[in-house]
Amino acid sequence: MKAIDKYLFQALDNYPYSLEETIESLDYAFSYDAKNTMVLCLYGRIQAEQLWNYEEAKNYFQEALAINIHALEVYPYYLHVLILNEDYEEAQKLIDFALTIKGINKSEIFVKKAILLEAQQEFKKALKEIKNAKLTTLQFAFDSDITEVEKRIKGKVELLKKKKKLKKSEKKSK
């Protein structure tokens, strides 16, 4: 095992519970290989998830993909940042590309597409993507993530139905 792997594993093991140790291990790993996509991805995640610095996170993810367009670990996190940063058009383009990459977890990308559509309040389209995610999933552990996103979207659909009923009843009473 290479020294970089040792430090990368330490960083992954420590994240997100010990940020100081994570950063220390990442810095060591980065000093061994500044072009390691997993190191860059974790730096991006820290920027996004801990510091809410989406632009800086995007820079790390873009750098990783510039090094290796097949860095499968980057896509889900990069897509999440694009959605949170309301870069919807860029997210859609990345989704379209990601779905063409051999070996990528297509189910996870379909879930990200559903979340993108949810953010745009396209709930019916989002539920269709959940169906695609269910059809393509090959990992039992990922099923619960799909179900949680589906529940959240269906809950929003129900809220809209209640809101419409309330407006109709208000118009009738006038």
Question: Given this model, what pLDDT does residue 174 score?
Answer: 61
User: Do 110 and 132 contact (CB within 8 A), yes or no?
Assistant: yes
Closest by CA position to 22, among listed 46, 49, 40: 46
Between CA 8 and CA 27 the distance in angstroms is 9
CATH number, domain 1-102, options 3.30.420.40, 3.40.50.2300, 1.25.40.10, 3.40.50.720: 1.25.40.10
pTM of the model: 0.92
Q: pLDDT 10s per residue in the chain (174 long)? A: 788 899 999 999 999 999 999 999 999 999 999 999 999 999 999 999 999 999 999 999 999 999 999 999 999 999 999 999 999 999 999 999 999 999 999 999 999 999 999 999 999 999 999 999 999 998 877 888 999 999 999 999 999 888 777 777 776 666
Convert the pLDDT of each residue in 99-132 to its tens digit: 999 999 999 999 999 999 999 999 999 999 999 9
Convert the pLDDT of each residue in 138-147 to its tens digit: 887 788 899 9
Burial (CB < 10 A; 0-12, 13-18, 19+), residue 158, is: exposed
Token digits for 168?
A: 């109709």
Q: What are the domain boundaries of the chain? A: 1-102, 105-174
Question: Given this model, what pLDDT does residue 108 score?
Answer: 95
